[in-house]
Amino acid sequence: METNLTSFSHVDAHCHLDLFPAVEPVITQIVTESICTVSVTNAPFLFRNTQTLAERSPLILPALGLHPELVASHGDQIRQFRELLPQTRYVGEIGLDYVTKDQDNRKAQERVFTSILGWCADATNKVLTIHSRRAAPDVIAAIGEHFPGTIILHWYSGSLRDLRRAIKSDFFFSVNSAMLRSESGRRLLQELPHDRVLTETDGPFIHEGGAPATPSCVTSTVDGLAKLWSKPPIDVQKLIQQNATYALLPGHESQQ
Ligand code: MN
């Protein structure tokens, strides 16, 4: 399904809308503040619910996912994933998470991730938001240098060396407030070409001001980037709009 979204003020390229205990005020915020929001899911059986949320506004882009940390418990939903994939252009949260030392678990994650990447490559037009905690080298290698589709590394926290490989492969990077708060995160952000940066909240997992981050918190990330890059916030906002139009809405560039 294609989106008919053509303009927006801000971007939350990775948000778990379905995990907010009270989603109504969050949807109101998205609509009122015109925030293009990629609503990721952690397992295929949750996707229908996300599609229902997305029916509320063209600003909400529904993503089909199978979170690496849920592969051990929900890996058998991979078949359902494949069946649902033609229903959306957006895929996530997917990826690898090597916090677990369990080799069988890691192998299962790799099998799932590789299958999903293969189906997305066949489709050629998918937009993928990808988790890579402690697994950046394997994630980047699995995707390859010429992936047919849009790759967004969400909350990248790997090495500078791997970051440079990912940049060379034309990946995008969605950046959140936690990255701006950490020394290593800021170091990575300084390395990123500005035209590859998107904003995200990873709400409700990240907290801001003592409460779960909601899509409107991306404005503080825009301000943080503006400071880091010594640019006016309005310029950074416009740049991220452009980047998001290119990354999230391929084919809509001329309509911005
Ligand atoms: Mn997430």
pLDDT digits over 107-156, tens only? 999 999 999 999 999 999 999 999 999 999 999 999 999 999 999 999 99
- Residues with Cβ within 8 Å of residue 128, at least 6 apart in sequence: 91, 92, 94, 117, 120, 149, 150, 151, 152
Strands 90-95 and 60-64: parallel
Mean pLDDT taken over the chain: 95
41-63: average pLDDT: 98
What's the pLDDT band for 252 if we cut at 50, 70, 90?
Answer: low
pLDDT at residue 225, as a whole number = 97
Residue 1 scores a pLDDT above 60: no
Residue 14 scores a pLDDT above 70: yes
Distance 113 CA to ligand 1 centre (A): 15
Residue 254 scores a pLDDT above 50: no
- Residue 168: φ, ψ to 5°: -60, -30
Distance 41 CA to ligand 1 centre (A): 8
Distance 128 CA to ligand 1 centre (A): 12
Cβ burial of 155 (10 Å; 0-12, 13-18, 19+) is: buried
Ramachandran category for residue 149: left, alpha or beta (phi over 0 → left; psi -120 to 50 → alpha): left
pLDDT at residue 5, as a whole number = 82
Residue 255 scores a pLDDT above 50: no
Distance 254 CA to ligand 1 centre (A): 30
Per-residue pLDDT reduced to its tens digit, 56-110: 999 999 999 999 999 999 999 999 999 999 999 999 999 999 999 999 999 999 9
Task: Output 78 or 250, whichever has higher pLDDT.
Answer: 78
Specify the pTM: 0.96
Q: For residue 230, what are its two tokens? A: 């010594």
Distance 201 CA to ligand 1 centre (A): 9
Specify the residue for token string 């640019």. Answer: 231
Distance of CA 89 to the CA centre of its chain: 13
Distance 256 CA to ligand 1 centre (A): 28
Q: Give the least confident one: 30-34, 102-106, 204-208, 237-241.
A: 204-208
What's the pLDDT band for 250 if we cut at 50, 70, 90?
Answer: confident
Residue (of 146, 157, 243) closest to 194 by Cα position: 243
Residue (of 148, 218, 212) closest to 177 by Cα position: 218
